């Protein structure tokens, strides 16, 4: 195979890189960090070596789930600093070196009730930090997400929901921008593509419901920023994992990392195969002709994948770091489907029945590359300069054959063939600068330029008189070219009790789309200002208050604008709208944080007002074909409340609760039809974690999403349960894990739409997913519970 020939020299290159890293005489430092109040281990506490003369960091690590740590150094003029958010930092200057080894034993940290800059809700493994303009969900090893994707992890983050189709919403709104390491990515353009990021790869997830001027104005309901781990333990570290699951889900992953004083070299390899299936049912009723069309079926996505990531950090000086990394992934897809159609007349008599089958194959190469320079100035730890250039590309070569076979009644025999050549390139250039003038005052400024270039060559052919003939009405090339230039400035004051941050962002957008065959062009050029204000006040040790305002924009994506569609189900069609305009949102929120003993409660009230609201409208033709496309329709005003908490009644049981409720008022008109209506919706999540004997952990997460009105109908409620079990062996180096998503196969998506003289009912489900895995960490690596997905 060509692939094997290509991988062999890559592996040789990896080993060659590692061989260049020099190994000097080192001192080994180890110990264990626990809470002073209950002697429980502190997972993910920071252990840092600092220079005695300058107090600058030399190196560091974090503790394991058992509170233990090991690090090495080649220097000798240092002291040891142990810290964890919410606890008093401890400096250790008195220690003995024996045989190039330091054993610090058990280190106790006391809780710090006087910390004023943030409040931490400390979960058993995962935890949430509340900062001035965002919340940071630090991802632990939540068992139900083991072997699952970033979409599953997101579904466990407070305020975030992911529906059965992979669509992400924040506080019930789908206008959310998803970033990876603070930058746009190919993987975030399509929710399903986030399945290539696995749970073990994620360090933290930032939920920014009111982004400051530093961030892109894109995303009307806010920003979700996925921070990917980058291993930095010194020496050679690695991890290997094997996973299997049902439906068909098998993978192997290897991670290697080598760190010295000057270099950090890292690589990940993964390969595997997986299958997704979806059962669906559609009922189209034409009330004018009194006919009904039923169609039921199953479509599959069978995928083989191969990937490699290579990168290095080079420390030019302790304060100047260059990072160069690249990722290549290759997917081979097979997408069969089969649908049965039945047409009934006004007397419910069967008029005709036919089957429509599909055979689709596709190949998807993906590239991403990044160069980053970071400068840490010596006068203050937060005085930073960051320059980055990122490029990514994705292409798809897909061919499909559709075959309609008559079962009874009217002759429906037909064949269609489609071809898709898709290519997308994204380039992002970014500069960020932060300058503190004192412990209270600081500024941030920077600029960003994003270029997106997409071409979608789509052809449909019909079998006519013994040959395939191009359907010119459905065949075209759609080009999409968007450039966004942004610049921002913000200033912040953070005192002992009160903080204030204000900023302004300017963005200029240049968008061009073109349908080549018809020569239909749509050019948009607009410039907007996006202000933001955030403030916080600490009334007492137990009560803090945060408030914020920001203006946001949602720019239609390529698939929102492209008028052509997949004809898998030729009676249920989704297409884009080239004339679609951006929508703008003013967002306000006030959040109260109550710190009651070891329990922290987060209660918030928010309001969003959106103009040029984008809604999907469904039309049903006389021949029972339902077509859905986006349109700009009026305004939407949303008022909501949100509640999050974590409670540990006993040391082996922890509960995490997340609740969100909002009501909305829609006003709008489309083609002389009034779409004014009011409604509400709510979601809740309850996670229970149990520490069992024999080093076994068990976790159950229940989810509920209420029914809610839509522009033309309503969506049903959804309830589902995720389960997980984990067993550690070999002092935590090895981990067996079992995960069950949607344990009762109850995660159905159901919607009802009424438009004019027609109605449409849709129901779909993906069913239960079960995964079983084993992972093992070697060197100083940990078992990473890696399912073989692409690492970014």
Average pLDDT of the segment spanning 517-542: 89
Q: Which of 130, 253, 111, 218 is nearest to 547 (CA)?
A: 130
Rounded CA gap, 680 and 663, in Å? 4
Q: The dihedral of CA 623, 629, 635, 636: what is its sign?
A: positive
pLDDT at 16 over 50: no
Q: Going by DSSP bridges, is the β-strand pair 734-741/263-286 parallel, antiparallel, or unpaired?
A: unpaired
pLDDT digits (tens, 9 = 90+) for 124-168: 345 566 676 777 777 765 555 555 567 767 777 777 777 555 667
Token readout for 500 is 């204030």
3-state class of 579 per DSSP? Answer: coil
pLDDT-based confidence at residue 226 (cuts at 50, 70, 90): confident
Cβ-contact 219, 554 below 8 angstroms: yes
For residue 166, the model assigns a pLDDT of 60
**Worst-scoring range by mean pLDDT, 445-454, 695-704, 732-741?**
732-741
Q: The dihedral of CA 157, 161, 163, 165: what is its sign?
A: negative
Average pLDDT of the segment spanning 462-486: 91
> Is 2-109 a CATH 2.60.40.10 domain?
yes
Tell the CATH topology of 235-779.
Maltoporin; Chain A (2.40.170)
Q: What angle do CA 552, 558, 563 make, to 5 degrees?
A: 125
For residue 144, the model assigns a pLDDT of 52
Tell me whether the omega of the peptide bond preceding residue 247 falls within 30 degrees of 0, making it cis: yes
pLDDT-based confidence at residue 626 (cuts at 50, 70, 90): confident
Q: Which residues lie closer than 8 Å to 328 by C-beta, 6 or more apart?
A: 307, 308, 365, 366, 367
Query: Look-up: residue for tokens 């190469």?
Result: 365
Q: Which residues lie closer than 8 Å to 211 by C-beta, 6 or more apart?
A: 133, 134, 217, 219, 222, 223, 532, 550, 552
Q: Which of 257, 256, 188 is nearest to 226 (CA)?
A: 188
CA 432 to chain centre: 23
Rounded CA gap, 453 and 586, in Å? 29
Q: How would you write 278-296 as a 3-class SS string?
A: EEEEEEEEECCCCEEEEEE
Average pLDDT of the segment spanning 118-128: 42
Average pLDDT of the segment spanning 680-698: 88
Token readout for 261 is 């004083």
3-state class of 3 per DSSP? Answer: helix
pLDDT digits (tens, 9 = 90+) for 86-105: 678 888 988 888 888 899 88
Residue 385 or 264, more confident:
385
Token readout for 39 is 């002697």
Q: Which of 722, 646, 546 is nearest to 127 (CA)?
A: 646
Most confident range, picked from 160-174, 254-268, 728-742: 728-742
Q: Going by DSSP bridges, is the β-strand pair 263-286/320-334 parallel, antiparallel, or unpaired?
A: unpaired
Rounded CA gap, 95 and 102, in Å? 7
Token readout for 451 is 């270029």
Report residue 590: phi and psi, to 5°.
Answer: -135, 130
Rounded CA gap, 580 and 578, in Å? 6
Query: Look-up: residue for tokens 């206008």?
Result: 175
Report residue 732: phi and psi, to 5°.
Answer: 85, -5
For residue 12, the model assigns a pLDDT of 43
Sheet containing 27-35: which strands, arranged edge to edge?
68-73, 27-35, 101-109
Please spell the DSSP secondary structure of 643-679, one letter per residue. EEEEEEEETTEEEEEEEEEEEEEEE-EETTEE--EEE
Domains of the chain by residue range: 2-109, 235-779
Rounded CA gap, 195 and 461, in Å? 32
Token readout for 692 is 């069992």
For residue 526, the model assigns a pLDDT of 92
**Worst-scoring range by mean pLDDT, 125-129, 564-568, 716-720?**
125-129
Q: What is the mean pLDDT of the chain?
A: 81
pTM over 0.75: no
- Burial code of 694-706, b = ≥16 C-beta within 10 A, e = fewer? eeebbbbbebebb
Rounded CA gap, 203 and 197, in Å? 12
Token readout for 573 is 């069609």
Residue 621 or 780, more confident:
621
For residue 5, the model assigns a pLDDT of 42
Number of residues assigned to the chain: 792
pLDDT digits (tens, 9 = 90+) for 631-677: 898 899 999 999 988 787 888 888 888 899 999 998 988 777 788 88
Token readout for 610 is 């959106």
Average pLDDT of the segment spanning 363-379: 89
For residue 479, the model assigns a pLDDT of 93
Residue 165 or 449, more confident:
449
Q: Which residues lie closer than 8 Å to 493 by C-beta, 6 or more apart?
A: 440, 441, 499, 500, 501
Rounded CA gap, 185 and 194, in Å? 10
Token readout for 199 is 């749970």
Radius of gyration of the chain (CA): 28
Average pLDDT of the segment spanning 388-392: 92
For residue 565, the model assigns a pLDDT of 67
Beta bridge partners of 500: 493, 535
Other CB atoms within 10 A of residue 773 CB: 26
Torsion, CA 92, CA 96, CA 97, CA 101, rounded to 10: -70
Q: How would you write 183-248 as a 3-class SS string?
A: ECCHHHHCHHHHHHCEHHHEEEEEEECCCCCCCCCECCCEEEEEEECCCCCCEEEEEEEEEEEECC
Report residue 323: phi and psi, to 5°.
Answer: -125, 125
pLDDT at 118 over 50: no
Residue 293 or 598, more confident:
293
For residue 65, the model assigns a pLDDT of 67
Residue 731 or 78, more confident:
78
Rounded CA gap, 44 and 66, in Å? 9
For residue 200, the model assigns a pLDDT of 65
For residue 9, the model assigns a pLDDT of 47
């Amino acid at each position: 195979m060509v692939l094997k020939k290509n991988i062999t020299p890559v592996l040789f290159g990896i080993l060659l890189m590692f061989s260049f890293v020099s190994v000097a005489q080192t001192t080994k430092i180890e110990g264990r960090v626990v809470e002073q109040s209950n002697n429980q281990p502190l997972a993910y506490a920071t252990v840092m070596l600092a220079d005695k003369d300058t107090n600058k960091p030399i190196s560091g690590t974090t503790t394991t789930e058992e509170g233990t740590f090991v690090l090495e150094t080649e220097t000798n003029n240092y002291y040891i600093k142990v810290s964890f958010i919410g606890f008093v930092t401890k400096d250790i200057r008195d220690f003995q070196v024996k045989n190039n080894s330091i054993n610090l034993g058990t280190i106790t940290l006391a809780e710090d009730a006087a910390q004023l800059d943030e409040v931490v809700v400390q979960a058993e493994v995962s935890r949430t930090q509340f900062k001035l303009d965002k919340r940071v969900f630090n991802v632990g090893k939540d068992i139900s997400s083991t072997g699952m994707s970033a979409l599953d992890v997101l579904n466990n983050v407070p305020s975030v929901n992911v529906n059965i189709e992979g669509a992400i919403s924040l506080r019930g709104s789908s206008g959310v921008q998803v970033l990876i390491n603070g930058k746009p990515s190919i993987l975030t353009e399509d929710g399903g593509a986030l399945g290539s990021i696995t749970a073990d790869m994620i360090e933290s997830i930032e939920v920014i419901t009111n982004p400051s001027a530093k961030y892109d104005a894109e995303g009307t309901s806010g920003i979700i920023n996925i921070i990917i781990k980058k291993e930095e333990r010194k020496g050679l570290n690695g991890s290997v994992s094997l996973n299997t699951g049902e439906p068909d889900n098998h993978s192997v992953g290897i991670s290697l990392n080598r760190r010295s004083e000057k270099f950090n070299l890292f690589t990940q390899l993964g390969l595997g195969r997986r299958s997704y299936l979806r059962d669906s049912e559609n009922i189209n009723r034409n009330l004018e002709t009194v006919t009904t069309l039923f169609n039921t079926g199953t479509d599959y996505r069978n995928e083989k994948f191969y990937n490699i990531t290579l990168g290095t950090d080079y420390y030019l000086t302790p304060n100047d770091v260059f990072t160069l990394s690249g990722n290549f992934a290759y997917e081979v897809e097979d997408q069969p489907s089969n649908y049965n159609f039945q047409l009934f007349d006004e007397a419910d008599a069967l008029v005709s029945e036919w089957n429509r089958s599909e055979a689709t194959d596709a190949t998807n190469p993906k590239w991403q590359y990044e160069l980053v320079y970071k400068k840490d100035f010596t006068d203050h730890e937060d005085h930073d300069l960051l320059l980055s250039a990122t490029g990514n590309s994705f292409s798809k070569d897909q061919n499909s054959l559709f075959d309609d076979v008559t079962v009874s009644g009217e002759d429906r025999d037909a064949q269609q063939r489609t071809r898709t050549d898709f290519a997308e390139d994204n380039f992002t250039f970014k500069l960020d600068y932060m300058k503190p003038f004192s412990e209270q005052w600081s500024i941030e400024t920077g600029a960003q330029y994003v270029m997106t270039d997409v071409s979608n060559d789509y052809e449909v052919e019909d079998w006519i008189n013994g040959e395939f003939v191009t359907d010119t009405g459905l065949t075209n090339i759609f080009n999409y070219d968007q450039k966004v230039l942004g610049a921002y400035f913000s200033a912040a004051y953070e005192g002992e009790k009160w903080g204030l941050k204000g900023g302004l962002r300017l963005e200029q957008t240049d968008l061009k789309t073109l349908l080549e065959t018809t020569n239909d062009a749509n050019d948009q050029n607009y410039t907007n200002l996006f202000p933001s204000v955030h403030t916080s006040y600490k009334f007492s040790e137990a009560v803090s208050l945060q408030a914020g305002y920001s203006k946001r924009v949602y720019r239609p994506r390529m698939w929102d604008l492209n008028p052509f569609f997949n004809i898998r189900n030729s009676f249920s069609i989704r297409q884009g709208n080239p004339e679609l305009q951006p929508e703008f949102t003013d967002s306000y929120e006030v959040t109260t944080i109550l710190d009651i003993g070891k329990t922290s409660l987060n209660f918030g009230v928010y309001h969003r007002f959106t103009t040029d609201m984008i809604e999907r409208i469904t039309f049903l033709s006389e021949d029972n074909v339902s077509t859905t496309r986006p349109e700009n329709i009026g305004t939407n005003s949303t008022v909501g409340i949100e509640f999050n908490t974590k409670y540990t009644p006993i040391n082996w049981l922890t509960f995490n609760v997340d609740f969100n409720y909002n009501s909305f008022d829609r006003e709008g008109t489309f083609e002389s039809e009034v779409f004014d209506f009011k409604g509400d919706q709510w979601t809740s999540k309850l996670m229970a974690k149990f520490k069992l004997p024999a080093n076994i952990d068990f976790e159950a997460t229940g989810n509920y999403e209420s029914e809610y009105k839509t522009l033309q109908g309503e969506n049903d409620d959804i309830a589902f349960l995720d389960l997980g079990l984990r067993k550690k062996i070999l002092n935590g180096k090895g981990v067996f894990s079992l995960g069950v998503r949607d344990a009762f196969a109850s995660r159905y998506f159901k919607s009802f739409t009424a438009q004019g003289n027609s109605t449409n009912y849709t129901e779909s489900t993906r069913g239960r997913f079960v995964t079983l895995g084993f992972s093992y960490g070697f060197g100083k690596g940990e078992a990473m519970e890696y399912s073989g997905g692409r690492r970014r």
